[in-house]
Amino acid sequence: MHFLESVAELKNADIYIQEKLILNQVDFSIGQGEICYIIGKTGSGKSSFLKTLFAELPLQNGIGKVAGYDLRDLKRNYIPQLRREIGMVFQNFELFEDWTVEKNLGFVLEATGWKEVIKRNSRIDEVLDAVGVVDKRKDLVIHLSGGEQQRVAIARALLNNPKLIIADEPTGNLDPETSDEIFHQLRDLAIRYKTAVLISTHDYRVIDNFPARVYECIDSRLQEQI
Ligand SMILES: Nc1ncnc2c1ncn2[C@@H]1O[C@H](COP(=O)(O)OP(=O)(O)OP(=O)(O)O)[C@@H](O)[C@H]1O
Ligand SMILES: [Mg+2]
């Protein structure tokens, strides 16, 4: 398959947490609309790798480009702009549980410069519709199932039309059937919106069900599986 443009790319990159080398000589790329998996044992560096892409960990050596931003030369005040191009999804959803769904999403829109209420409201409907939970808009997050909460979290990640969705073990807390639904959803978004989707997972069953390119964190390296 050929991809028009790479959305994120690392070349010969070393990833450290403070003095500790986590991954070295990382070569990675993901194209527009592509899905990739990151697998590896606990502690192997999956989350650290993902954090590098959204500039939470600095890139020490090598080249890194994400959504047109150069990770090596990224000024602090460009970090929020870079993160606006990336939708983040986490294992534990990280929603405000005692807020409604719409308040969770509206909060992000306000924080990212959406000034008009009408536009915010219609954007909230659009993203909830995209993940099939528009009927939950007025509900408190705490009243939703885990799968529904993760859909809301994916909807939140979509708010600013990201070029890349990074999902760190997005189905780690979900049963197999719900996991499949979430993977379906992510794949659907990649196809429909040409969003690149990068997913770390321990769930090899899902990789069999939804094949895509796989990278493994192993022995301080990121190896593409062939
Ligand atoms: N804040 C930190 N300070 C020091 N070391 C850390 C820190 N966070 C993670 N590490 C270490 O970095 C290594 C990689 O951790 P990371 O969280 O990237 O692994 P992971 O593959 O995501 O694991 P898991 O599957 O458990 O989520 C581990 O050895 C971990 O102990
Ligand atoms: Mg992790």
Per-residue pLDDT tens digits for 80-106: 999 999 999 999 999 999 999 999 999
pLDDT at 73: 84
Instruction: Among 44, 90, 203, 204, name the best residue to mutate to test ligand 1's pocket (greatest count of ligand atoms within 8 A of Cβ).
Output: 44
Structure token pair of residue 47: 């989350």
pLDDT at 31: 96
DSSP 139-200: SBGGGS-HHHHHHHHHHHHHTT--SEEEEESTTTTS-HHHHHHHHHHHHHHHHHH--EEEEE
What is the share, in percent, of the chain residues with pLDDT greater than 70?
Answer: 98
Atom 28, ligand 1: residue with shortest CA distance: 43
pLDDT at 76: 87
Pairing relationship of beta strands 6-17 and 35-40 according to DSSP bridges: unpaired
pLDDT at 115: 96
Instruction: Among 18, 20, 201, name the best residue to mutate to test ligand 1's pocket (greatest count of ligand atoms within 8 A of Cβ).
Output: 20
Q: Look at residue 3 and tell me whether its pLDDT is greater than 60.
A: no
Calculate ∠ Cα 95-130-69, nearest 5°.
Answer: 70
Q: Look at residue 61 and tell me whether its pLDDT is greater than 50.
A: yes
Torsion sign over Cα 44, 82, 153, 198: negative
Q: Look at residue 2 and tell me whether its pLDDT is greater than 60.
A: no
Q: What is the 22 CA–ligand 1 centroid distance (Å)?
A: 8
116 Cβ partners below 8 Å, 6+ apart?
none
Distance between CA atoms of residues 201 and 170, nearest Å: 7
Q: What is the 168 CA–ligand 2 centroid distance (Å)?
A: 7
Q: Look at residue 1 and tell me whether its pLDDT is greater than 70.
A: no
* Range 118-122 average pLDDT: 98
Atom 2, ligand 1: residue with shortest CA distance: 17
pLDDT at 4: 58
Distance between CA atoms of residues 35 and 185, nearest Å: 12
Per-residue pLDDT tens digits for 15-44: 999 999 999 999 999 999 999 999 999 999
The mean pLDDT of the chain is: 94
Residues with CB under 6 A from ligand 1: 17, 20, 22, 40, 42-48, 217
Q: Which ligand is nearest to the CA of 20?
A: 1
Least confident of 58-67, 148-157, 166-175, 204-213: 204-213
Q: Are 32 and 189 in contact (CB under 8 A)?
A: no
Distance between CA atoms of residues 50 and 48, nearest Å: 5
Structure token pair of residue 178: 């719900």
* Range 137-150 average pLDDT: 97
Structure token pair of residue 109: 């829109």
pLDDT at 209: 87
Atom 4, ligand 1: residue with shortest CA distance: 17
What number does the ligand 1 atom closest to the CA of 48 have?
A: 18
222 Cβ partners below 8 Å, 6+ apart?
23, 26, 27, 28, 38, 45, 49, 215, 216
Per-residue pLDDT tens digits for 184-220: 999 999 999 999 999 999 888 888 888 899 999 999 9
Distance between CA atoms of residues 166 and 88, nearest Å: 5
Distance between CA atoms of residues 127 and 108, nearest Å: 13
pLDDT at 157: 96
What number does the ligand 1 atom closest to the CA of 44 have?
A: 21
Q: What is the 49 CA–ligand 1 centroid distance (Å)?
A: 10
Q: Please classify residue 117 by burial: count the beta carbons closer than 10 Å to its beta carbon, then call 0-12 exposed, 13-18 middle and 19+ buried.
A: exposed
